[in-house]
Amino acid sequence: MGMEIERRFLVRDPHTAIERGTAPVQIIQGYFGRIDCLRVRVRIVSCERGSCAAFLTFKGARRGLCRLEYEYPLPLDRARRALDTLPPAQIIRKTRYEVRRGNDSAWSVDSFEGPNIGLVLAEIELAHPNQNIAIPFWIGEEVTFNPRYGNSRLARMPMSRHLADVA
């Protein structure tokens, strides 16, 4: 059993954030509903050097900044077959950059593709819920508690749909 403790933010200056990041990794992930109140996700991560890894993840409901998270390695062929069962519009595609700031934990900066193109989010994993962090200048509004920015919601209701509803 694991505990994920994180904060999420919109990125105000994507160019600066990405420019400061490490070599990008490509992420493809999809969501398969819930089992025992845990959301089920399959993710494939492709690194720059051509290596791939796949994971089956179960995430609990958020309680403050915390949520249960169980992650297991998954054979790549099984992950691909699982993702192939989902409609293409429900697959999240994003490029992730890791941005380090001094002694702070690393920030993950996700630049979304497909129906969520243009959305750039940053998250930071914390050691404990009350951990103080320095917010870089390229970070914008905090969206940790805004469900519309959760990946599982973005898979079902892409950001382009949210923007169309507002217009």
Query: Would you tell me how many other CB atoms lie within 10 Å of the CB of residue 44?
Result: 19
Active site residue 31: yes
Alpha helix (H) ranges present in the chain? 14-19, 76-84, 151-156, 159-166
pLDDT score of 145: 96
Exposed / middle / buried, residue 38 (Cβ in 10 Å: 0-12, 13-18, 19+): middle
Please name each of the domains of the chain with its CATH number. Answer: 2-166 (2.40.320.10)
Contact 17, 140 (CB under 8 A): no
Q: Which of 77, 32, 33, 70 is nearest to 53 (CA)?
A: 77
Judged by DSSP in three states, 17 sits in helix
Residue-wise pLDDT tens digits, 119-158: 999 999 999 999 999 999 999 999 999 999 999 999 989 9
Report the share of the chain in percent with pLDDT over 90: 77
What's the pLDDT band for 165 if we cut at 50, 70, 90? very low
Distance between CA 101 and CA 29 in Å, rounded? 27
- Mean pLDDT of the residues in the chain: 90
Distance between CA 31 and CA 25 in Å, rounded? 20
Distance between CA 156 and CA 152 in Å, rounded? 7
Q: Which of 31, 70, 72, 149 is catalytic?
A: 31
Judged by DSSP in three states, 120 sits in strand
